[in-house]
A and B are shown apart, each in its own frame.
Chain A
Amino acid sequence: MFRWFKNKKKKGEASQKLKSSKDVTSISKNLKTNLQVIYQQIGHSSDVIIRSFQIENSKLEAAVVYIDGLADEQVINDQILKPVLLELRKIGDVRGEKALRDELKRAMTTLSKIKTAQQIESCISHILSGGTVFFVDSSDEALLLSTPGWETRVPSEPTSEPYIRGAREGFVETLTDNIVLLRRRIRDPDFTVDIYKVGRRSKTDIAVAYIRGLANQELVDEVKRRIEQIDIDMIQETGYIEQLIEDNFLSPFPQVLATERPDKVAGNLLEGFVAIIVDNTPFVLIAPATLSMFLQTGEDYYERWMFSSMLRILRILISFIALFLPAIYVALVSFHQNLIPMDLMISIAANREGVPFPSLVEALIMEMTIEILREAGLRLPKPIGQAVGIVGGLVIGEAAVRAGIVSPIMVIVVALTAISSFALPEYAMGIAIRMLRFPMMLVAGALGLYGIMLGYIMINVHLVKLKSFGIDYLAPYVPYRLRNWKDLMIRAPIKKMRQRPQMMKTQDPQRKDS
């Protein structure tokens, strides 16, 4: 009890400390004082480098502060120190602060970004995000120099969403590179990126991207508001953001779409969606998300419309199979045998002859097995993972049937279900459906088809109630907007798609005129 109290007290202290650090300390004219303050705050770490030097002829003391490895030392030497030390010999003659600053800036003109700062805090955050800070004695301003030097990954094909036709580049872990990937696709001057720093300690950069004058302003404001409200110590991945800003955390369905593909994000931005890009992860969020978005791929728009339409209808079928097939099997086999054609019924009965479990248990065992196999194959290193797949698929399936633990038809049902759930284009929807399959099987085992109907109605009730950023999750099915059905179960020819989705309430609803 006392310990708990102590802990609480400590927590309070800690938060106070954090708060106090938020107080503003302005830069003093004395270089030594500045360096001391900085040393106090971050100098305890050995990778913080403070290099003091004297500018020749002028006796002016100066210093650069950066973090080893995070800032590019090559750039610091060639573009900051060299010009300042070699070319600015006459700097001693320069009088007046402004003139000094201009002179320094001129010397470092090859650097891409130079800003000035008056507060120590902004200097520190600049240092911690890979920049270099230049202090000069007798100046109460510091120069913030951009010298990013960390390793970045080259954009490569997104492994989570490979397309046959479509760009081979996916997002990377660097926020700026990701924004570049989007900017390269949308050269619209209205393309806007607002950057936030979220995370008490991680101070992760989060960018909210949208098209100004196109996206619904209320939606943009809502997204920003939710991001501003986030209070957490660290943001590791977009998953954190997704779970912190979603509408209903009790729903099994994903309410924000995560993607690795810049083309998909660009397409959605032009439909009035808002993208949330987080530093250090290649997954970008698209908000809001509707159910239909999880059954579509960007490739649908690249292939010819008839084929894409067929695929979309197929995906609806797939999601039903993935959700209901084992449940329907259980219901038919243990309750409604008269609904099975006689020949099939006899063959199922013959196959189940000698199986010791009721069909519900049999189905649960097999579905569990599949989930275990899937997880094992996923977590193992790739070459071993494949071996697990073979062992699981062939040996266990075949052996279980031979041993009479499960019937061969059950193996077919389970295999078809598993393949269907993997065939869904969005992993997040796939796992939601895979999970819901189990309660469906249970109700089917208890109440038969009646139970399946009840379960389906419950899912539908939930979906109808669900909203993502104020937009109905089932839109445009519910509320019914026939005009948007052009891009729903079928994908109409691009020539015929003239409007942006109505549900997005865009400020510029017309995609094109003719």
Chain B
Amino acid sequence: MGRNRYFIGIIFAFIFLINAGIMVGCWDQTEIEDLGIIVGVAIDKPKTAEGKEEEKKESERNLSYEKHRLTVTQQFVVSQAMGSKESSAGMPSQEAYSNVASEGNTLFQIASQFSTMSSRLPYYKHLKAIIISEEIAKSLNLEQLLNFFLREPEMTRDIQVMISKGCARDVLEVKPIKERLPVLALLSLTENEKKTARMAEKLMLGNMSKKMANGSSFLIPRVVTYGDSVQLAGAAVIKGKENTMIGWLGEEETEAINWILGKIEGSAVETVDKETKEFLVYEVKEQRSQIKPKVEGEKISFVVEIESEGGLGEDWLISGDAFEEAFMQRATEAIREEIVSIIYDGLTKTQKEFKVDVAGFGKQLYVQYPEVWEKVKENWDEYFSTVPVEVNVEIHVREFGMKGSKSMQHE
């Protein structure tokens, strides 16, 4: 009897399980090959006059279309083409991506329009990069613009944000040589931070949202397209609170900010030897920086202590002999001066011209003098432009590579 009951229990459990499977499951199920994986999104202003009439009609409803009208280009992965390694058997190799553009007022609306245009279900969980055109960044509040990406649970927080000089769609159109997808090629570029200081630090959507919420100013990496190649260098300056772009930082100016931030993992500094007027290149291997706020009464000032270690990467001097103490001292001094001047150039541009603090001076003040910060934080960017900043650079040229001298005597 007891056994029978056990069996009945088991049978019930089975029926329950099967029902649970049939009735509950599967609504989330989408097979992997049915997804249209979107890896990159570019946001532009509409170029053409298309839809102008519609716009007119809608403008009767008193909406400011000019401000809101957006063109969004999405890069879909064509996984079939990705899968076939190399174009097999002389078939014309299919592009591994397809860019689809659509126009609208809001991003969510545009995103849902894509569903009407794509045979595959648009899938945003692997979205890697958002590229915003200069025009859009200058005219729209980025916090409003990116609200969709931050809100949508399908998006991750490690999407990289970049600003393109010119049209953002062009970045997605550049056909890379070594990679199959333009977006992936772009992302690999950001990994090269180790070798250069001329890119702004890569910016994830999550961090960006944090900065926008704080109201602090920050830099977004700049993407430039030259015909069929893409360069990632320089930065767009985003003014805090307004969250709009106010200008560009050139490559050297970006480098200056990186020196202050202490984020350089490897870079080259080119300078000229004073005696011989020949080039010297300093290879940065390690770099540290410390921003020290000073408060004397009402006056706030900063000292930036920068220390770097590296080697002599290249020199064009015939007599240059790295085994010679005097020469090394001369070279070190030349390099130091060059770095100081680079930093001051960049600092002047951001501090005096753009009147923003993008290198985290305010944060250091907040950490060390919270009561002073409370007083000035309201208008910090404005206030910062009047604060004196002193930069101290210390360079240690530790090595000179495999060959120290060009003359024979030391070999």
- Which A residues are closer than 8 A to B by beta carbons? 250, 333-335, 337-338, 340, 342, 345-353, 355, 358-359, 442-443, 445-448, 451
Contact = CB atoms under 8 A, between A and B. Distances in A.
Given A443-B21, A446-B24, A346 B29 contact: no
Contacts of A446: 20-22, 24-26
Nearest to A352: B33
Interface stretch (B78-86, B131-139, B220-228): B78-86
A364 B395 CA distance: 65
A447 B82 contact: no
B239 interface: no
Nearest to A334: B29
Given A250-B10, A333-B31, A447 B25 contact: yes
Contacts of B402: none
B126 A342 contact: yes
B367 to A, nearest CB: 37
A349 B10 contact: no
Given A335-B28, A337-B125, A347 B83 contact: yes
A340 B35 CA distance: 13
B20 to A, nearest CB: 7
B83 A335 contact: no
Contacts of B30: 334-335, 337
A346 B24 contact: no
A451 B25 contact: yes
Given A349-B79, A446-B20, 13 more contacts: A250-B10, A333-B31, A333-B32, A337-B125, A338-B156, A347-B83, A348-B32, A350-B33, A353-B83, A355-B33, A358-B29, A446-B22, A447-B25
Contacts of A349: 32-33, 35, 37, 77, 79, 83
Contacts of A355: 33
B29 to A, nearest CB: 5
Most buried by B among A250, A337, A448: A337
A447 B21 contact: yes
Contacts of A346: 37, 77, 79, 82-83
A250 B4 CA distance: 12
Interface residues of B, number: 30
Contacts of A250: 6, 10
A338 B159 CA distance: 14
Interface string B70-100: 0000000101111110000000000000000
17 contacts: A250-B10, A334-B30, A335-B28, A335-B29, A337-B32, A342-B37, A347-B79, A349-B79, A350-B82, A352-B31, A352-B33, A359-B31, A443-B17, A445-B25, A447-B21, A447-B25, A451-B25
B18 to A, nearest CB: 9
B41 interface: no
Given A333-B31, A335-B28, A353 B79 contact: yes
Residue among B10, B24, B26, B39 with max Cβ neighbours from chain A (10 Å) = B26
Contacts of A334: 29-32
A335 B77 CA distance: 19
B29 A345 contact: no
Given A334-B29, A359-B31, A442-B21, A350 B79 contact: yes
B344 interface: no
Contacts of A338: 125-126, 156
Given A333-B31, A338-B126, A350 B20 contact: no
B123 interface: yes
* Closest 5 pairs (CB-CB, A-B): A350-B83, A446-B25, A338-B125, A446-B21, A349-B79
Contact of B32 (A345, A442, A443, A448): A345
A329 to B, nearest CB: 10
Contact of A351 (B20, B29, B83): B83
Given A337-B125, A350-B82, A350-B84, A342 B39 contact: yes
Nearest to A444: B25
B247 to A, nearest CB: 34
Given A338-B125, A359-B32, A345 B37 contact: yes
A350 B80 contact: yes
Contacts of B82: 346-347, 350
B103 to A, nearest CB: 28
B128 interface: yes
Nearest to B20: A446
A58 B26 CA distance: 94
A342 B128 contact: yes
Contacts of B21: 442-443, 446-447
A459 to B, nearest CB: 14
Contacts of A348: 32
A171 B81 CA distance: 59
Nearest to A348: B32
Contacts of A350: 33, 79-84
A132 B353 CA distance: 117
A250 B7 CA distance: 9
